[in-house]
Chains A and B, each alone.
Chain A
Amino acid sequence: MIELLIHQWKEKIRSPFWQKSVILNIVLGILGLYLLLNFVMIGYFADVILKKVFVNADVVESFARILFYYFAFDLIIRFFVQQVPTLSIQPYLTLPIKKAKLLHYPLIKSIPDFINIVALLLILPFFVKVVCVTKTPLFCLAWIMTVFSLVAINNYLNFSLKKYFSKRPFLILLVLVIVGLLIYLDISKTLSVSYYFSTSFLDIAETPILVILPIMIAATSYYLGYYLLKKNSYIEDKQTNQRVNAGSFSFLTRYGEIGNLMRTEIKMILRNKRPKSLLFISLIFFAYGFLFYQDKNLNNYLILIFIGFFLTSIFAVQYGQFSFSWESSFFDCYLANKISPFSYMKSKFMLFALTSTIGFLVTLPYALISYKIAYINAAMLIYNIGISSVMILAFSTYNTTRIDLGRSQFMNYQGTGVTQFLSVIPVAGFPAIIYLVFKHFGVPQYSIYALALLGSLGIVFNTFLLKMVTRQFLKRKYKMALGFRQI
């Protein structure tokens, strides 16, 4: 078992992700620490916050009610974020190691997961500060055991959900709907689930023998995970005979080489997990308009410009910053085949322009809130097509890290490098600078025209700009290809 953990550790530290930039690692490390510290703080001051919200209630009781929400959301978030330690046990299956051991291993490995640590960081400070001080030791023991059990239940329940439901998406939806419904019922006070939850929680703590119950449920969820893993541990091709719609996007073939390349790229986005999840995230972001298009913001051009930029470029920026890296597993195919580098660049540009336009059209109904939104977003669309797209493309020639298409997007930083951090700054910052210049002269609204004008110029000189990017690409292609081949 220890040997297996060592292998896993080696897999982690030897992954190309860590081996590229010390500075990036330090920055990520500091960010991570800061984030964790925030959780500790929230946990530590939970009693103060709770007293303000539930003025007359007992703190321990209101905390228990909050825990209901916490664990309900926790399960939902886990479902999207937590990566089930996938069976990297295949190479071990033929070795003389007991199979049961191999199956327990990924289950145990999932314990020190980020999300479990967050749960403990939130709950433990409260436990130490409030529960331990005010309650009997036996109560405390039962309380904390229940919390541990709940964390474990969520951990393994999610494990089973993902393993069992991964091919039954409707059931997943059903579970999520049920959890959501429970939360809704509670908020609407039709059925106070959180009340039942907190009373049972406190009953358990007051009658410590009952702690057996949550522990048993936790054990059951563990064995459910174990059982599902066991059932799935044979290497079999279960994905055969899936139907493939071969005629998809055939209209693009009319547009020659560029259409051919775009068609392949669209298929790449739709048929692979990571770019596909990115697409869905972008769709969710379209709803951000509701958050920001409020009366108080409607006269703030900076916010309107920024939201317009965001809505019309979200996919182009999110996806585009990893351009070429997406193609790392077949980059050599593109290099060795008869593909004109300029058409290659142009096809990517066209894809950015296309998705930006779709973003503009989808979010056009926001104009019902204020007509301003329509013309600001139109200006930002022109700007994004003319300027941002080319900038993103030019920066992405500095991508040299491989991306595995099969992994999920959530919490996945593979392929992320200093380039991405640095490239977003000018791409998103340039419109802000233009705004500030015009604001300085007291005419912020004219920055919209300036941005639209710049974008139009970018579109007029598009061929010239893309030729510059192509030259850049040709200079960088060996370095890119070399990086993309590192698995």
Chain B
Amino acid sequence: MIQINNLKKAYGKRIVLSIDDLTINKSELVGLVGNNGAGKTTMLSLILDLIEPSKGSVQSKNQFVSKSDDWKSYTGSYLNEGFLIPFLTPMEFFEFIGKLHGLNNADIKSFLNDNGPFYADDITAKKYIRELSSGNKNKVGILAALLPAPEILILDEPFANLDPSSQSWLKSKLKKLNDEGVTILISSHDLKHVTDICDRILLIEHGIIVKDKITNAETLDELENYFNTASKAL
């Protein structure tokens, strides 16, 4: 589904990401873990063609993301607040995104009903997105990414700022979507969440993927050990 070849991103001489070869297969649920500044967001931004690679390429369904726009019609994404339009109400924002994918207001209503638990009262209130709390902004962004029923879903730290109920709702939602065949790539600092739901975990450090594992019973311990050792090395 997503193929990365010899991808490098450097700012001046500082290399922030370097991936020789990585393939994410259809209907995989991949978790990206790593400390701050490891290159997680850079990697997701490169996959979404938001930043220009210094070298190498990203392909989605065998098409280069920087050359063709086709991936945009089947990829839902939310990385940060830059993906939200601050002066719209959440409803207007969903309409805007929905219209881009040819959905009408009835489609959007039924989508929001289906995802009711995640769609709190605060979001329905007539407030502009810029007035929402970080958690609710996050929810709006994730819902907007889910809205066009994407085949690929890319989320950067989706659990951050979410209340506990929403976190567990989102976990089961992602699991369910994945069972339906959606390819999902998320980054997170919460090792428990990641090991709970992901089939495959990529551990990234200083811009390099140092571990690429299929999740099993020991993965959580293994990751915790890894980060504990890393913290002692500081």
Contact B131 A338 (CB under 8 A): no
Write the chain B residue with the least CB distance to A335: B50
Q: Are A337 and B72 in contact (CB under 8 A)?
A: yes
Check if A332 sits within 8 Å of B131, measured CB to CB.
no
Contact B77 A336 (CB under 8 A): yes
B190 within 8 A of A: no
Interface size on B, residues (CB 8 A): 35
**For the complex, would chain B's binding face be called helix, strand, loop or mixed by DSSP majority?**
loop
The residue among A331, A332, A340, A478 with the most chain B CB atoms within 10 A of its own CB is: A332
Which residues of B33-57 have CB atoms within 8 Å of chain A's CB atoms?
48-52
The answer to whether B92 and A478 touch across the interface, beta carbons within 8 angstroms, is no
Interface string of A241-258 (1 = CB under 8 A from B): 111101000000100010
Q: Which of chain A's residues have a CB closer than 8 A to the CB of B211?
A: none
Whether A330 contacts B86 by the Cβ 8 Å rule is yes
Q: A246-B89, A481-B51 are in contact. Are A331 and B82 (CB under 8 A)?
A: yes
A482 at the interface (CB under 8 A from B): yes
Query: Does A20 lie at the interface of the complex (its beta carbon under 8 Å from any beta carbon of B)?
Result: no
A interface residues (Cβ-Cβ under 8 A, vs B): 237, 239-244, 246, 253, 257, 260, 263-264, 267-268, 271-272, 329-333, 335-341, 405, 478, 481-482, 485
In the complex, 5 of the A-B residue pairs with CB atoms within 8 angstroms, ordered by the A residue number, are: A244-B92, A272-B87, A332-B80, A337-B100, A338-B73
B72–A338 CB distance below 8 A: yes
Asked if B162 is at the interface (CB within 8 A of a chain A CB), the reply is no
Q: B96 contacts which of A239, A242, A264 (Cβ < 8 Å)?
A: A264
* Nearest A residue (CB) for B52: A478
Q: How far is the CB of A56 from chain B (nearest CB, A)?
A: 59
Query: A8 to nearest B CB, angstroms?
Result: 25
The answer to whether B131 touches A333, judged by C-beta atoms less than 8 angstroms apart, is no
Residue of B nearest to A484 (CB): B82
Shortest C-beta distance, A269 to chain B (Å), equals 10
Q: Is the CB of B92 within 8 A of A267?
A: yes
A260 in complex: contacting residue of B80, B82, B89, B99, CB < 8 Å: B99
Interface string of B57-84 (1 = CB under 8 A from A): 0000000000001001101010111111
The reply to whether A405 and B87 contact each other, CB–CB distance below 8 Å, is yes
Inter-chain CA distance A264–B85, complex, in Å, is: 9
When C-beta atoms are compared, the residue in chain A nearest to B96 turns out to be: A264
For B48, the chain A residues whose CB sits under 8 A away are 335-336
